[in-house]
Amino acid sequence: MPKNYGFVSTRFAGTDGVSLESAKWARVLWDDRHVSYWYSGLSDRHPDVSMCVPEAHFGHPEVVWMNRRIWRHARRDPFVSERIRELIEYLKTTIYAFVRRFEIDILVPENALTIPMNIPLGVALAEFLMETGTPAIAHHHDFYWERPRFSIGCVQDYLDMAFPPRAPNLLHTVINGLASEQLSLRKGVASMLVPNVFDFEQPPPEPDAYAADVRKEIGLAPDDIFILQPTRVVPRKGIEHAIKLVSMLGDPRYKLVISHEAGDEGYEYKHMLEELAREDGVDVRFIGDRIGEVRQLDSRGRKIYTLWDLYPHADLVTYPSSYEGFGNALLEAIYFRVPTVVNRYSIFIQDIEPKGFKLAVINGFVTRESVNLVRRMLEDRKFRADIVEHNYQIARQFYSYSVLRRSLRALTNQLTGWAPKGTR
């Protein structure tokens, strides 16, 4: 029977992994006529099917105030504890209201019980689940023990209780195998591996007139080779390896284009990349001011493109990250049939590499062998066509919507024996 699913997170807006993957879950659930509703502190979902509670967002002033006093501190002031408890109680009443308003059958906490960016929301959710017995599927993306910023704090009691909680009506899903192992070791709970997916059953849309001039607009000449780094400018993305690769290719036609803005973790890393590019004679284009979540015009009347406008025009994608929870940009490059260079980060080694993709891989540094393989990818059209088609078919087998559909059906069936015990 169709169910009403209630997705809960700090934010459902933009192109972050939680927002994107939750939308894919909702789309696949609709194939079985399950209806999805949304609870968050920041939302771009339709108001008719969503409930926006600003205090649920990690950027709300009250939550920011709390986070400044609990992280990197060994003790918690009693007044902070009082404020946390007050916000927990308030958020819990809004979760009750959300479940009543939309007659939710199954809750889906999206990272809200995983990473403690909003401690009160996670605790409120955990208490709600224990008080009501409502069936729930926790979709875990990034655990707090994976982030150094959460290694020191004075909220271990809340972390033990709610990130994530242990409850008989709560099933756990993770996006990589290492997370499943760590969750079992640290919390003593089993989980299902549900990787990030794309709709590989449907080919990507053909480039349209709007994006036809994207190469010209970012300053590329007709014979330039467009090498795309489709990530934010932060140190773990390993962009220095992409610069080294282009330098070793030794052709001035090769242009490295970085799609996203810097600033999330300061600008020192960007300045280092700019200096490295100058020293190595690499033409690097930072085009974050031309890329947005939606197509539009900026204040100067210039086109703003989406990331998906870039992929069809790229000749190569570089993805030399040192760490990723999964690697959506890698799947995107495969989806758009673009040859790709990838650093062997841990999740890639454990979960993705064994599937048999044909990629140019590096092990923390660029070798002459990897440079020669990249050059062949760019210059040998038949070789390029063969490997991108091979990669597409492998991804279709392991990372398509059909894989997600089977997982969600199994989870739903497992929860059908649970029923909400009533809400207040």
Q: In 10 A of CB 414, how many CB atoms?
A: 13
For 161, counting Cβ atoms within 10 Å of its Cβ (0-12 exposed, 13-18 middle, 19+ buried), the class is middle
CATH number for the domain running over 214-398: 3.40.50.2000
- In 3-state terms, what secondary structure has residue 87? helix
DSSP string, 295-333: -EE-TTS-EEB-HHHHGGG-SEEEE--S--SS-HHHHHH
- In 3-state terms, what secondary structure has residue 263? strand
- Single-letter amino acid, residue 17: G
Q: Would you state the pLDDT for residue 9?
A: 98
Cα radius of gyration (the chain) = 23
pTM over the 0.75 mark = yes
φ/ψ of residue 360, rounded to 5: -85, 115
The interaxial angle of helices 368-379 and 381-398, nearest 10 deg, is: 100
CA 382 centroid distance within chain: 33
Under-50 pLDDT residues of the chain: 418-424
Buried/exposed 103-141: b ≥16 CB within 10 Å, e otherwise: ebbbbbbbbbbbbbbbbbbbbbbbbbbbebbbbbbbbbb
Give the CA distances from residue 309 to residues 15, 314, 330, 408, in Å, rounded to whole numbers and listed in that order: 14, 10, 16, 30
Q: Would you state the pLDDT for residue 264?
A: 65
Rounded-to-integer distance, Cα 372 and Cα 60, Å? 50
Rounded-to-integer distance, Cα 151 and Cα 336, Å? 38
Give the CA distances from residue 76 to residues 82, 148, 156, 224, in Å, rounded to whole numbers and listed in that order: 10, 19, 11, 57
Q: Would you state the pLDDT for residue 181?
A: 96
Q: Would you state the pLDDT for residue 262?
A: 82
Q: How many Cα atoms sit within 13 Å of 127 on the Cβ side?
A: 18
The reply to whether 214-398 shares the fold of 4-197+401-415 is yes
Delimit the domains of the chain by residue range. Answer: 4-197+401-415, 214-398
pLDDT in tens, 56-66: 999 999 999 99
The CATH architecture one would assign to domain 4-197+401-415 is 3-Layer(aba) Sandwich (3.40)
Nearest in space to 209 (alpha carbons), one of 339, 312, 316: 312
Name the token pair of 201: 């059953």
Q: Would you state the pLDDT for residue 387?
A: 97
The interaxial angle of helices 61-70 and 78-102, nearest 10 deg, is: 140
Name the token pair of 288: 């974050």
